[in-house]
């Protein structure tokens, strides 16, 4: 299980969003930190195959990011989670399960499990437009987990969750990170501080720090501010 990011760059006209990033990721939790515009979301989108790199390659166990086989093992929660307002929560998950190629009976079972996991069973048959922000976020998390992804990419997953849910979700990620590759971007440094096996920091499109919590002495947030000066932690 190895996700290889080889000299990946993304350039928009004269702006370099991601600059020659190379990484080899094995199972574990990777916390991605960086200021606004550092290139985190661009990198995550390239890892999901929804944005083509200007140069470089991304592959998982030799499977290119553009292939269906790669997408089959991928779970993604985007920062701005979109939904179909007139779908019920259950319908939405069943639809996403169909998109992920999960068979009908397995999908029903999995949807039931995940609705329980994210505490949405009671509102499963209600339209998503009636959900609160936190409920929508939990639904987003559930859809990312539908296919038991080996690569799980989470962009701001705990945004909108109450403290209790955040702790629950953090524990869930910690569990998932034992057998899978989890890449997590969040502005809540304490989330990364507690669960990330490896911390990645980006600035101006480049990877400026790649190490474990043990490599950082003292408080992570202070370390971040020291490294990037006035930069806003995202």
Partner 1 sequence: MKTLWIYEMKKIWQRRMVWICLVFSIMLVLITVGGPLLGSYYVKGEKLGSNYEIFLQDKAYQKALDGRAIDDMLLSEMQEAYSNVPFEDEKYSLTEAYQKYARLYSAIYHYVRQVTGLAGVELVAWQGGAADLQRMRLMKMEKSWEELLLSDREKDYWRAAEACLKEPMVFRYAEGYSVLFSAAYTIGALVLFMVAICLSGVFPQEHGRKTDQMILCCKWGRGKLYMAKCGAGILSALGMSASLVLTAVIVALGLYGTEGYDAAFQQIYVGNSHPITVGEAVLITYLMILLVGVFMGALVMMFSEIFHSSMGALSIAIGIILLPMFFSMPEEYRLLSQLWSYLPGDFVAGWSCFSMQTVVIAGKVFLPWQVVPVLYMMLGLLFAWVTGRRFLNYQVRGR
Contacts for 113-122: CB closer than 8 Å, 24+ residues apart: 114/142, 114/145, 114/146, 115/89, 115/90, 115/142, 117/142, 117/145, 117/172, 118/142, 119/165, 120/89
Q: Is 142 a residue that touches partner 1 (CB under 8 A)?
A: no
Q: Is 99 a residue that touches partner 1 (CB under 8 A)?
A: yes
Q: Is 57 a residue that touches partner 1 (CB under 8 A)?
A: no
Q: Is 209 a residue that touches partner 1 (CB under 8 A)?
A: no
Interface with partner 1 (CB under 8 A), residue from 40, 45, 138, 170: 45
Contact between 37 and 190 (Cβ < 8 Å) = no
Near partner 1 in 104-123, by CB under 8 A: 104
The interface region with partner 1, picked from 80-88, 156-164, 201-209, 225-233 by CB under 8 A, is 80-88
Nearest-approach distance from CB 2 to partner 1, in angstroms: 19
- Per DSSP, the chain holds a count of helices (H) and strands (E) of 8, 10
Helix (H) or strand (E) holding 19: strand 15-25
Q: Is 150 a residue that touches partner 1 (CB under 8 A)?
A: no
Q: Is 37 a residue that touches partner 1 (CB under 8 A)?
A: no
How many positions of this chain bind partner 1 (CB under 8 A)? Answer: 32
Helix (H) or strand (E) holding 201: strand 198-203
Contact between 128 and 139 (Cβ < 8 Å) = yes
Query: What is the Cα gyration radius of the chain?
Result: 18
Pick from 33, 22, 17, 1: nearest CA to 198: 33
Interface with partner 1 (CB under 8 A), residue from 2, 7, 22, 50: 50
Residue with smaller CB distance to partner 1, 101 or 211 = 101
Contact between 23 and 210 (Cβ < 8 Å) = yes
Nearest-approach distance from CB 72 to partner 1, in angstroms: 4
Binding interface with partner 1 (CB under 8 A): 12, 42, 45, 48-52, 68, 71-72, 74, 76, 78, 80-84, 86-87, 91, 94-96, 98-101, 104, 143, 147
């Amino acid at each position: 299980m190895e996700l290889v990011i080889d000299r990946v760059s993304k350039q928009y006209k004269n702006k370099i969003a991601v600059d020659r990033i190379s990484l080899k990721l094995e199972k574990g939790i990777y916390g991605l930190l960086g200021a606004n515009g550092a290139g985190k979301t661009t990198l995550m989108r390239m890892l999901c195959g929804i944005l083509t790199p200007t140069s470089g390659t991304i592959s998982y166990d030799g499977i290119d990011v553009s292939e269906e086989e790669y997408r089959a093992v991928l779970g993604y929660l985007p920062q701005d989670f979109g939904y179909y307002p007139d779908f019920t929560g259950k319908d939405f998950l069943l639809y996403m399960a169909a998109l992920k190629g999960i068979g009908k009976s397995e999908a029903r079972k999995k949807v039931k499990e995940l609705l329980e996991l994210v505490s949405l069973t009671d509102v499963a048959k209600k339209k998503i437009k009636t959900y609160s922000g936190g409920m929508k976020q939990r639904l987003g998390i559930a859809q990312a987990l539908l296919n038991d992804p080996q690569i799980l990419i989470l962009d701001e997953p705990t945004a909108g969750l109450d403290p209790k849910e955040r702790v629950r979700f953090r524990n869930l990620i910690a569990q998932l990170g034992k057998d899978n590759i989890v890449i997590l971007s969040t502005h809540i440094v304490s989330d990364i501080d507690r669960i990330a096996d490896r911390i990645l920091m980006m600035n101006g499109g480049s990877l400026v720090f790649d190490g474990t919590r043990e490599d950082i002495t003292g408080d992570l947030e202070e370390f971040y501010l020291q490294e990037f000066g006035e930069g806003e932690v995202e």
